[in-house]
Amino acid sequence: MEDYKRKLERRRWVACLMLCIATVLVVVEVMMFIKIDKDPNAHFNEGFILGFQSGLILVMFVKSIVDIFSLTRTLKDERKIRLLYNKEHDERMQMINAKCGYPLIQSIAMFLIFVAIIAGYFNIIVFYTLVAVVMLLLIVSALFRVYYSKKM
């Protein structure tokens, strides 16, 4: 359990680092929004993709804060550490995740979002298509997860 405790502490540091990165990115995004706002030749798509990026950064920002608070609270209580350990190592949940292909879908979704943002600067249709694919993947995965959680 001591190893797991150290792992949680490392996770908290990573969340702090992510929060710092997200804060810097928020500042950069705001500056870019101001720049686009002042540019009369700016295309709608540029603002749209920037808005999409801002949404992702905002999610990263909020998730980091939530993680820091929840991990700090967990690390103070031995019972909560054991509950979290059991939750993460639960064989039933691992089987459900494996059946839904959850780890693979998560990686593919992250990769496709990254590609979509870059592709969006060249062709907005590719951006919409990739985002739609990611949405579909996540919805199907979530539905399978609910189905297997009820079934098992």
Partner 1 sequence: MNTKIKELRKQHKLSQEDLALEVGTTRQTITSIEVGKYTASLVLAYKIAHFFELSIEEVFDFSDIEQED
Residues that bind partner 1 (CB under 8 A): 79, 82-83, 85-87, 89-93, 149, 151-152
How far is CA 59 from each of CA 51, 89, 91, 97, 112, rounded to the nearest angstrom? 12, 26, 29, 23, 17
Q: How far is the CB of 124 from partner 1 (least distance, A)?
A: 43
Q: How far is the CB of 115 from partner 1 (least distance, A)?
A: 36
- Map tokens 């295309």 to a residue: 43
Q: Which helix (H) or strand (E) covers residue 44, if one does?
A: helix 44-75
Which residue, 28 or 152, has its beta carbon nearer to partner 1?
A: 152
Q: Report residue 122: phi and psi, to 5°.
A: -105, -40
Rounded least distance, CB 1 to partner 1, Å: 11
Nearer to partner 1, 9 or 90 (CB): 90
The token pair at 125 is: 């249709």
Quick one: 59 or 95, whose CB is closer to partner 1?
95
